[in-house]
Structure 1
Amino acid sequence: MDKQILFEDEHIRVIFLKGSSDTLVISFGDLISRAKGMSINAEKSLIKYQYNVIGIMPKLKSWFPKSSMLQMQQYVQPILQQFKGIVGYGGSMGGYAAIKYSKLLNMQKIVAFVPQYSIDPDVVQDRRYAEFFDPSIHQDMQIQANEVDSDREYLIVYDPYFTEDKEHFLKIKPLLPKMHVIHLPFTGHEALAVLASSQLLNDFVEKPFDITYFYKRVREVKKQSKFYYRHVLDALLPRHPQALLKILENQDLALDERYFDAVLKQKLVQQLFNLKQGTVQNLHKLGIQLHQTQQATVPSPNVKTTEQTFLVFNLVSLKLECYAADIIGANSQYLVPLTVQANSLVKLELNGENYLLTMNDRGIHKLIPEHEALPLDQSPLVFKQYEGFCSMSYKQLTLSCDEQGFSHFVESGAEEQSKLQLC
């Protein structure tokens, strides 16, 4: 398809993509999809439906300064005059621009995902983007009442439980006389990524708003999204631990091992173990690989925390964690008690072999056979006994165990969470 640059300055690059439809889509980039060559935000989906597109792509994290947009307007006006149907589309910074410049660019419909009202720290409490605020180009940058009107239809998609985005929505809402809202709970600021779908984008552009239809389509798309369950699980786990089991029971999941980051993966594994549902099938559904398991009978745990749980090494997450004795017994193939003595190196027995538990400066543990040489980057953990309590250390750091059962090596070592008992 033909492309040409209509306008360019230090802040934006404006590209026209010629199509064959009767609709013109003005697609705004965001912090991630910034100007790169001749690329346009959501280009593949827009090409699929043969839309004519004006792609307004930010070069910098500068929130489409008004001075640039006013200069640009005269260059795109001849194209705008050719279309009766003009739809604005964008997320986050792009959603902000789609709303703010809707009247300037004569858009009839605006689809904005998680838009900002402003990034001015004097105007909003949200500080995620405050570092990008530049008083020299962002004077009165908030969306103004005279930049929108009732001739235009606004559709906003956001997560009502995500505090930062909700603040922006509540400030935008009174300004928009004709607005539809789609709530997308437990997706944080990733609504656009969760709903990435060519067909849904086409629906947003072409179909008159019908709340029943759109919520049905949104549910269909989000359940197929590789981002959706990541956000749902992260949001639900602390309050609704059974939600994980319901998702595993009702969904035919086969996630890639890189789907979850290390922190969330550790939370999920711990939750499965606490629910006594750490089956191979459940772990594989979540894309969690088994490095090794404990086959032999394991000794009883004997390192107790101030939370009255026991410290073990998790063979799935490869982390030191804390569990109640019955949880350790139910997951004995994965949770290995430590073999420690006062003032000695930390060891554990795995399938009849003795290992030193070591760690490096990046917090990565390794099990080293007891009589083998240590890798240069690994140092052993030391179990120390003091008057009335014990502790575990790595170099100058001390192990601290929190009430959720996670452990961290910290600089201070005399706090209650760092005190252990040898049973």
Structure 2
Amino acid sequence: MTHVSTIYEDDEIAVSFLDARSADLLITFGDLATLWSEGNFYGRSVAEKLSLSTLGIMAKKPNWYPCSSIVALEARVRQLLTKFRHRTLHGSSMGGYACVKYSALFAADTVISFSPQWSISPFTTLGHASGWVSHFTSTMTGMEIAPADVGGKAYIFADPYDKSDKFHRRMILEQCRDAVEVDVFGASHSVSAVLAGTSNFDQILKACIANDLSLLRKVCNAARRRSDFRAYIVADRALSRHPKLVATALLNADVSRSAYRQFCRDKGVRLLQELAGAFPSKELADAILPHLAKGCDVVKLLMTAGIPHDRSPVLQTCHGTSLFYDLELGRCVHGISASGRYVPLTIQFVDRRLSVGLKTVLGFAVIATHGDGSLSTAALADEDLFDLRVSYSLSGLLCLRSRNYYVAAEPGGALICNRSEAGTWESFTVHLK
């Protein structure tokens, strides 16, 4: 059983020590996305699974680890560090900078740095710190990594196609001629996400300590090929120049992968715009539509992607059925297919609001709800009805809502607006007719 305790804290940093009784010590620095929170530090989960004693150094704000705080920390833990046979420093981005910058101070044997900055000063980075320059303050003047800062064998991981990271790695290598470049193609600035995982880090750590470059590159290449994050980045980079290639890959992709769902959600509309009707848009839109997170994106996709106007978005239920208006009953139902008395329901903007309705010779007839929860057309009703709106649940699923209730698709074909919470029956997907 490992024990974690806070052993140092000031206004800039907080430091935890995980005592796993190991012979070697891992010293980690958190990145900008993982600022300090009570009891947590960068790499804790991996350290616990690998039973690695770890000194977890966390910034309390985007401060790039001020020298005064780190020097004070080193003095506090100097005696503790002597108990360990081997010291490895590790971090990503802001943390990647710190593990190189303070490697000599902590007498590191090995440094594993993911996507580090050399500096974020606008006066020395020549435009290669645009994402971080807003965090630069006058107290950071002189923060650049210098030869005297670097100790141990340093491994600098970066995507050589990321212009900013390539610049920073080159500047670090000029200060540390013995450092090793490790390329992680297609990772952009997210090397840590592409190489994430306990097994990956264990193999990377062992390869770096042994200076086994062949094994190190083999591990990294295998990890990046498996990475959903890398698949997303590669597709995003190819989107402008090779939209047809991206579309083909998307239609043949494993739909269970998180990268597939995320790409459809973030880039689906843009992909169809890039294609501008030069691809089988219906099949592609059918693949993308269920994953879009916002109703306005659905309409934008249909209006701007070159999809023929006679194709309308159809709402489908968790039962595999579609929503229809029953002309004989004068009510909305759900079923397998439209025939005669059943008119498919669709969605479109009405008075700047996404509404549910059906197309008629007189125009778009909006659907509303009765007091008993049934659904009908506002145009045909002779009683007070309540607006029916397209909304999204907390989990991002499309729902139909009126007042404070959700529409449920009940087994048997009934649609009823009387649910206070949105679950499976109250969730819908959008497909092209």
Partner Cα separation in structure 1 for residue 349 and residue 299 of structure 2: 15
Could you tell me which residue of structure 2 aligns to residue 357 of structure 1? 349
Deviation (angstroms), 1:237: 1.6
CA deviations 1:307-356 (Å, max 9, x no partner) are: xxxxxx99686442143xxx759x96779xxxxxxxxxxxxxxx788976
Which protein is richer in helix relative to its size? 2
Could you tell me which residue of structure 1 aligns to residue 228 of structure 2? 226
Partner Cα separation in structure 2 for residue 36 and residue 92 of structure 1: 18
What is the count of residue pairs matched by the alignment? 333
1:371 aligns with 2:386: no
Q: Match for 2:280 among 276, 280, 285?
A: 276
Partner Cα separation in structure 2 for residue 88 and residue 75 of structure 1: 17
Alignment map for 1:107-126 (pairs within 5 Å): 107-124=108-125, 125=127, 126=129
Could you tell me which residue of structure 2 aligns to residue 300 of structure 1? none
SS, match of residue 263 in structure 2: coil
CA change 1:104–1:228 in 2 (3 A) is: same
SS, match of residue 64 in structure 1: coil
Partner Cα separation in structure 2 for residue 181 and residue 226 of structure 1: 23
Partner Cα separation in structure 1 for residue 223 and residue 124 of structure 2: 35
Alignment map for 1:34-53 (pairs within 5 Å): 34-53=35-54
Deviation (angstroms), 1:259: 2.0
Residue type of the alignment partner of 1:203: Q
Could you tell me which residue of structure 2 aligns to residue 86 of structure 1? 87
Alignment map for 1:176-325 (pairs within 5 Å): 176-207=176-207, 208-244=210-246, 247-248=249-250, 252-256=254-258, 259-260=262-263, 262-270=265-273, 274-276=278-280, 279=283, 283=287, 288=291, 318-323=301-306
CA change 1:314–1:333 in 2 (3 A) is: farther
Q: Is the CA contact 2:17–2:56 (under 8 Å) kept in the aligned structure 1?
A: yes
Deviation (angstroms), 1:170: 2.0
CA change 1:316–1:203 in 2 (3 A) is: farther
Partner Cα separation in structure 2 for residue 23 and residue 251 of structure 1: 42
CA change 1:169–1:288 in 2 (3 A) is: same
Q: Is the CA contact 1:102–1:147 (under 8 Å) kept in the aligned structure 2?
A: yes
Could you tell me which residue of structure 2 aligns to residue 153 of structure 1? 153
Q: Is the CA contact 1:355–1:367 (under 8 Å) kept in the aligned structure 2?
A: yes
Gaps of 5+ in 1: 293-312, 336-350, 379-423
Q: Is the CA contact 1:114–1:156 (under 8 Å) kept in the aligned structure 2?
A: yes
Residue type of the alignment partner of 1:274: A
CA deviations 1:268-315 (Å, max 9, x no partner) are: 45567633275379827x9737999xxxxxxxxxxxxxxxxxxxx996
Percent same amino acid at aligned positions?
Answer: 25
Partner Cα separation in structure 2 for residue 216 and residue 187 of structure 1: 16
Deviation (angstroms), 1:267: 2.7
SS, match of residue 226 in structure 2: coil
Q: Is the CA contact 2:347–2:354 (under 8 Å) kept in the aligned structure 1?
A: no
1:130 aligns with 2:133: yes
Deviation (angstroms), 1:11: 0.5
Alignment map for 1:155-170 (pairs within 5 Å): 155-170=155-170
Deviation (angstroms), 1:191: 1.3
CA change 1:377–1:64 in 2 (3 A) is: same
Q: Is the CA contact 1:26–1:53 (under 8 Å) kept in the aligned structure 2?
A: yes
SS, match of residue 148 in structure 2: helix
Q: Is the CA contact 1:269–1:278 (under 8 Å) kept in the aligned structure 2?
A: no
Gaps of 5+ in 2: 315-342, 359-363, 367-377, 379-385, 391-433
Could you tell me which residue of structure 1 aligns to residue 14 of structure 2? 13
Partner Cα separation in structure 2 for residue 67 and residue 314 of structure 1: 49
